[in-house]
Structure 1
């Protein structure tokens, strides 16, 4: 059960006013300039939206604080916000908690709305971020400004903070394997922890090799320590202890030779890095082109008129997939890695050569000998590099698997949205002449297209092809703002029904819609009532609360609300009861 029970406003002179709400449908009626949109936005503010300088907004003068009370699963919560300061209050069954920041408040609200800890983990794992109910308010609010939008039809999609998350959020909702992805993410996390531990051990091992070689250079050792020649180094140490001198027998490369080699390999690294970067850029560009062509292919496939274009797009996709040699790029990357390692070795050799030709005292040599012996006593013969390479390769493969899984859609769920939107829309035929006209079209449907978050009306058409009648699906580009608005409202209802049925997300079970009847003429306004009547036949009123804002009386929209709130009364002239006009 969910219900926002009241909104209490308090003035800066300690006056109070309370709006009471009911389960089910609440209709807020008021003429223009009475604060309907202000009221609509205030709901979002009370539920954690960041609205800077809200106290200075026209229409809110005199309001010092506001308290929203709601019930969810038989627990009573309150949210109190102060319009002139960031401090907030939150309570659960009468136990109050002060929140010094808005983020703290949103965390508490999210805990109240989250179905379970495991479901929240699945969401966070998929989105690679701590996703809260705030992201899911994308499905709760439909404002007046974007009424009639069918492409990217959610109202909040035009806000950057929601738009950047929308595609990934839809991937989550329609994903076929969310639990498997969570398992793979956990597996990857464990793998990365192992890689981190082994990397630390290997880095320590490499550091010790470097330190030992620095001391061996002081001892004028003819041999460098590689990590695998401990016996040879121990023999040199024994000779030094026995003779107090090391006989240098190995010819080393001169500093000029080493400098030439390191300059040469640096140039090669630069050239190869540039080629590898260009290769990756070409691959990324081709990937984006392939995605666009695939999307185009989905839109035109199955239409006989576009058959040549379908063939062309498939050929282009084949050419692009063949133009990228993953094997060549892998070889380049491996070569680059070895060249960088060789450069490090040359740099180390230069340092060692400089030390070899530096005169050291006997005391310095004896100190170096002690340091070498200490490091050798702690040195681990086991190298983790090969194991690290294997683990890193597994991690790369696992990331690719996760990426592929995240892009695997459950087409049954997507088709379910299409069916629900179609049912809501066609169900309003008895209340709207243009809906009744549309339903006469053969095979009328509203197709939901996930890529682009689009609602596309379609119908079936018969055409003669070589003497036979062939059925094909035709997009119905309805230019009517009224049609588009009704379809958009149906889209919101379909998503809300679908998401509440899943019970997997921190979703507020309510819809807030501002003046959806505005584009409709008098003969079609009651279609609004038909849609919400159908919605409440599918979802119990205790489980979904709706707030509609409009200028008309409820019966003009075919509505039978549980609660009607008139913004203009004897004691006030709009939403803000403390505002004098």
Structure 2
């Protein structure tokens, strides 16, 4: 159970004014400039929005502090905010007031209240790889005037980038039925990443020791290369050097001039291959453009065949180019280039090794080199490259599998949501002519699409298939009426709230705050709003969802029976903030 009980406002002169609320529908009527939209945003402010009210004329020199009392899961809380964003209070309602807390701590404490299911929150965090809190889920709590009538990306707060970037992973989580498999793969991925980090550290150490040994072997005039597996051969050669034996170099050693010629030749071949690839891609791009041109010319020929003589040569040219491009792809092999690059790297290493033959080193430097080599050879190291490659390959496979699993949808859940939204909308057919017109369409249905967060009306139409048979097919039904769109959008909000509240595992505040929803409706159809809300409460219950509505119409026109009603403009106040009096 959730209920906001009251909102006490304290002015700079010490005066107080209290708004009391009921469970169910709280309806506030007000004329223009009476603060309906300010009240709408102020509820979000009390639940931790970062808006700085010091910049708003509504509150400057009039409002000092606001205290809200709410109860959740049979516990009553008292929260308070001031005009200073970092002076806030939160405690149990029967406790004495503590020292003030920063906005960050204020939101952390609120999150601990609404994110009571720690295990579900951990699953959500592991699934999305993001730190999601109750603040993110407020996108399901506010339907404002700004984006009224949006059925594509229909949540009002989706226009804010900080919410829109988090909506997609949340929807993936909500509509996913592979959570257990995803959790297992995530755990395996976590272990693999730790192992890879360790292997990379060992590989770096291995490479460092090999480089140090080889650098010092060059000082001794040796052309033997330490690979990490030939330590005994290196030790044998060191013993020979110690015994003053001359280092025997391989007879097939090439001089630096030969090696540099080979290096330049291979580099030139690689350059030719790379240029060929670039040219081939450009040819392919140009040929695609020619095909588009040919397609347009063929369309013209369908209307007038006189110009066929102009098109035939182009068709022949494109056919020849296709053959040329295919042959180029056959001759240009990435594998060939990779092999050439490997050979070039080997020759580069050989040049570096031979360079030491033309440098003179003192006996002291050679003695030091021998000591260094012996010390590094005593290190217990081995190459981890094969294991590292294997682990990286598995990580890549897991990530690809996770991407597929995370984007797979629970189609039954989406179907149930679509059906509920459709039934809500249809419930107003006996009270609204526009809804009746829609529901009389054959097969009328509102389909929810997760991609794009879309509420798409659909109908059934008879179409002729490729076998010339008449079949019934679901097609998109496009309606331009703002009132229809707004009512569908409202049904979408209620559909999500019912689903999320039933699952009871999300850090969700059980409220819906609506600003000026009657605006796009004429008098005859505005009662559809009340009918939809009544139908919602029949399935959810007023004790489970508190509704706040701000409008300039009388609630009877919306066919509503509010549990609490109040006019924002009274004899002693001009609007929402009772201490604010606009200047003439």
TM-aligned CA distance change 1:551 to 1:191, over 3 Å: same
> Partners of 1:463 and 1:338 in 2: how far apart?
58
Encode CA deviations 1:59-117: one digit per residue, 9 max, x unaligned.
232324433333222233344333344444333564847543x4443333222211422
Encode CA deviations 1:440-464: one digit per residue, 9 max, x unaligned.
3332211212222222222234468
Encode CA deviations 1:126-177: one digit per residue, 9 max, x unaligned.
2221122222222111111211111221112222222223333222221221
> Partners of 1:355 and 1:532 in 2: how far apart?
86
Q: What residue is the counterpart of 2:515 in the other structure?
A: 514
> Partners of 1:36 and 1:263 in 2: how far apart?
77
> Partners of 1:280 and 1:139 in 2: how far apart?
48
How far 1:398 moved relative to its partner?
0.6
Q: What residue is the counterpart of 1:162 in the other structure?
A: 163
How far 1:336 moved relative to its partner?
7.1
Q: Secondary structure at the match of 1:429?
A: coil
Q: What residue is the counterpart of 1:24 in the other structure?
A: 24
Q: What residue is the counterpart of 2:244 in the other structure?
A: 243
Greater CA drift, 475-484 or 10-19: 10-19
Q: What residue is the counterpart of 2:10 in the other structure?
A: 10
On the 8 A contact 1:78/1:90 being kept in 2, the answer is yes
Q: Secondary structure at the match of 1:431?
A: coil
Tell me if 1:571 matches 2:576: no
On the 8 A contact 1:456/1:475 being kept in 2, the answer is yes
Q: Secondary structure at the match of 1:378?
A: coil
Q: What residue is the counterpart of 1:149 in the other structure?
A: 150
On the 8 A contact 2:446/2:458 being kept in 1, the answer is yes
TM-aligned CA distance change 1:232 to 1:437, over 3 Å: same
- Gapped runs of 5+ residues in structure 1? 282-322
Q: What residue is the counterpart of 2:438 in the other structure?
A: 438
Q: Secondary structure at the match of 2:446?
A: strand
Tell me if 1:452 matches 2:436: no
On the 8 A contact 2:50/2:85 being kept in 1, the answer is no
How far 1:373 moved relative to its partner?
0.7
Q: What residue is the counterpart of 2:548 in the other structure?
A: 547
> Partners of 1:85 and 1:105 in 2: how far apart?
10
How far 1:580 moved relative to its partner?
1.3
Tell me if 1:389 matches 2:389: yes
Greater CA drift, 460-469 or 134-143: 460-469
Written as runs of structure 1 = structure 2, the 5 A alignment for 1:520-559 is 520-559=521-560
Tell me if 1:501 matches 2:502: yes
Encode CA deviations 1:501-530: one digit per residue, 9 max, x unaligned.
222322221111111111112222222111
Q: What residue is the counterpart of 1:421 in the other structure?
A: 421
How far 1:338 moved relative to its partner?
6.6
TM-aligned CA distance change 1:280 to 1:180, over 3 Å: farther
On the 8 A contact 1:55/1:63 being kept in 2, the answer is no
How far 1:482 moved relative to its partner?
1.2
Written as runs of structure 1 = structure 2, the 5 A alignment for 1:46-125 is 46-51=46-51, 53-61=52-60, 62-92=62-92, 94=95, 96=98, 98-100=100-102, 102-125=103-126
Q: What residue is the counterpart of 2:294 in the other structure?
A: none
Written as runs of structure 1 = structure 2, the 5 A alignment for 1:170-569 is 170-243=171-244, 246-249=247-250, 252-260=253-261, 332=334, 346-380=347-381, 382-462=382-462, 470-569=471-570
Q: What residue is the counterpart of 2:137 in the other structure?
A: 136
> Partners of 2:565 and 2:468 in 1: how far apart?
60
Q: What residue is the counterpart of 2:41 in the other structure?
A: 41
> Partners of 1:208 and 1:515 in 2: how far apart?
72
> Partners of 2:17 and 2:479 in 1: how far apart?
45
TM-aligned CA distance change 1:376 to 1:477, over 3 Å: same
Encode CA deviations 1:36-67: one digit per residue, 9 max, x unaligned.
1111112222222232x431224232324433
> Partners of 1:280 and 1:34 in 2: how far apart?
64
TM-aligned CA distance change 1:348 to 1:116, over 3 Å: farther
How far 1:480 moved relative to its partner?
1.5
How far 1:263 moved relative to its partner?
5.4
Greater CA drift, 554-563 or 398-407: 554-563
TM-aligned CA distance change 1:20 to 1:376, over 3 Å: same
On the 8 A contact 1:90/1:97 being kept in 2, the answer is no
On the 8 A contact 2:223/2:353 being kept in 1, the answer is no
> Partners of 1:192 and 1:520 in 2: how far apart?
56
> Partners of 2:273 and 2:170 in 1: how far apart?
38
> Partners of 2:275 and 2:88 in 1: how far apart?
53
TM-score by length of 1: 0.83
Greater CA drift, 504-513 or 335-344: 335-344
Q: Secondary structure at the match of 2:19?
A: strand
Q: Secondary structure at the match of 1:107?
A: helix
TM-aligned CA distance change 1:425 to 1:264, over 3 Å: farther
Q: What residue is the counterpart of 2:288 in the other structure?
A: none
- Gapped runs of 5+ residues in structure 2? 283-324
TM-aligned CA distance change 1:277 to 1:132, over 3 Å: farther
TM-score by length of 2: 0.83
Once superposed, what is the RMSD of the aligned Cα atoms? Answer: 3.2
> Partners of 2:350 and 2:493 in 1: how far apart?
68
